[in-house]
Amino acid sequence: MRIAVVGASGLVGREIFEVLFHREFPAQEIFAYSTRRSVGEKIRFGYDQIEVEELKLEEMGEFDFIFSALDRESAKELVPRLKEKGVVIDNSSAFRLDPDVPLVVPEVNPDRAKEHKGIIANPNCSTIQLVVAIGPIHKEFGIESLHIATYQSVSGWGREALDQFNYEVEFVAVGEPPDSKGSVFPRPIGANLIPKIGEFGDDGLSEEERKLQLETNKILESEIKVFPFCVRVPVRIGHGEAVWLRLKKSASRDEIIRLLESSPGVVVDRDYSTPIEIAGKDEVHVGRITETEEGVFLWIVADNLRKGAATNAVQIAEILKES
C-alpha cells in the first residue's frame, strides 16, 4: 500500500508514523509531506528515517490512504483536493460536522467508515476517549445526560504549545513568573490552569466544549444532553475527564465494570490511572467507577496523541483495508 502523511512534522503527524510502524500496517511505500519550513526534516519510522517533502499536489501520485494532520484552515483548503489522490483520514475539525463526512471511532461506529465519499473525519481527542468509554454504557442502558469536566494537556494544542510549556516550566522551576509573551495560550500555562480552550461563543461555551456536545451525539447517533467544561492543564501528554452520567435504565457499579471490561479499547482500573501512566498507550482507561442514586461517575484518561489522534486514524485505515 502507498501511504502519505500530510502535516508530518507536527506532534500528531509524527505519532502517526509511530503507530503505523508498531501496528505493522502494510505500507510498502510511505511519504511525509509538510509546509516549506519543515522540508528536509527527518521523521522516524521504525528503524528508518523518512525525509519530509514539500506538499505539491500537482506532483503527488495516488495513494491508498492519506493521513492529514493539517490545521483546520489548511485542511479546509487542501483536503477536498487531496481526496482526488486517495482516501483522506483528516485529524482537523474542518469536516467533523459535515453530514456527508463520517465521524468515526472504530470501537463505537466502525461501519460508518465504509460510507465515506473520500474523506473520513477523526473526532476531537477529548471526544474520542469519552465515547470509547460511554458508548457501551449508552448502548446497554441509555444515557439521558452527562456532565463532563476535562483536564487537557498542552500537547493537544500542538507542537508550538508544547514548546511554550517547556519554556515556561524553566521559569517556574527557579521560582520566577513564566514568560508567556507571544504564547499560543491566552494566559501563562506553566504551573497554571486555563478554563478556556478555543474562543467563547455567545452561549458562553468554548469551541472545545461545543465539540464535545456536537461530536458525541453525531458519533453515538443520540440526543444526549451534554454539559461540558474544558480546562487546559500543565501536563505534557494525556487528557483526563471527570464524567457523571444520568442513565435511562438503572445500572449497578458491578454491571458497569463488567460491561466495560468486555468492551474493546477500554481498560478498567480498580482505582484510577493518571496521564503520566498512560502516555504512549492506545487504550482508554476508566477508573473511579462510582454508583449513586442519581447516576454513575467515571474518571477517563487517555493519551491524546495516540488514541486521541494517531491511533484512531490508523484504526480507521485498518477497517477500510479489510473491507
**Residues 180-216: pLDDT tens digits?**
999 999 999 999 999 999 999 999 999 999 999 999 9
Q: What is the DSSP string of 68-120?
A: E---HHHHHHHHHHHTTTSEEEE-SSTTTT-TTS-B--TTT-GGGGGG-SSEE
Q: Which of 116, 138, 230, 239 is catalytic?
A: 239
**Closest CA relative to residue 266, chosen from 241, 301, 296, 317:** 301
Q: Tens digits of per-residue pLDDT, 148-173?
A: 999 999 999 999 999 999 999 999 99
pLDDT of residue 118: 98
As beta bridge partners, residue 281 has none
pLDDT of residue 293: 84
pLDDT at 316 over 90: yes
SS3 percent helix, strand, coil of the chain, rounded to 5, is 35, 25, 40
Q: Which of 116, 125, 138, 230 is catalytic?
A: 125
Global pTM reads 0.97
Mean pLDDT of the chain: 97
- Tell me whether residue 147 is one of the annotated catalytic residues: no
Q: Tens digits of per-residue pLDDT, 173-188?
A: 999 999 899 999 999 9
Q: Tens digits of per-residue pLDDT, 32-43?
A: 999 888 999 999
**Closest CA relative to residue 149, chosen from 239, 61, 89:** 239
Q: What is each CA distance from 209 to 90, 204, 242, in whole angstroms? A: 20, 10, 14
pLDDT of residue 36: 81
- Tell me whether residue 125 is one of the annotated catalytic residues: yes
pLDDT of residue 262: 99
Q: Tens digits of per-residue pLDDT, 69-95?
A: 999 999 999 999 999 999 999 999 999
Q: Which residues, other chains included, contact 118 with Cβ-Cβ below 8 Å and sequence gap of 6+?
A: 83, 84, 87, 88
d(CA 65, CA 319): 12
pLDDT of residue 294: 81
Q: C-alpha grid cell for residue 150?
A: 476535562
pLDDT of residue 198: 97
**Closest CA relative to residue 274, chosen from 303, 296, 297:** 303
DSSP at 258: H
pLDDT at 322 over 90: no
What structural domains does the chain harbor? 2-123+309-322 (3.40.50.720), 127-304 (3.30.360.10)
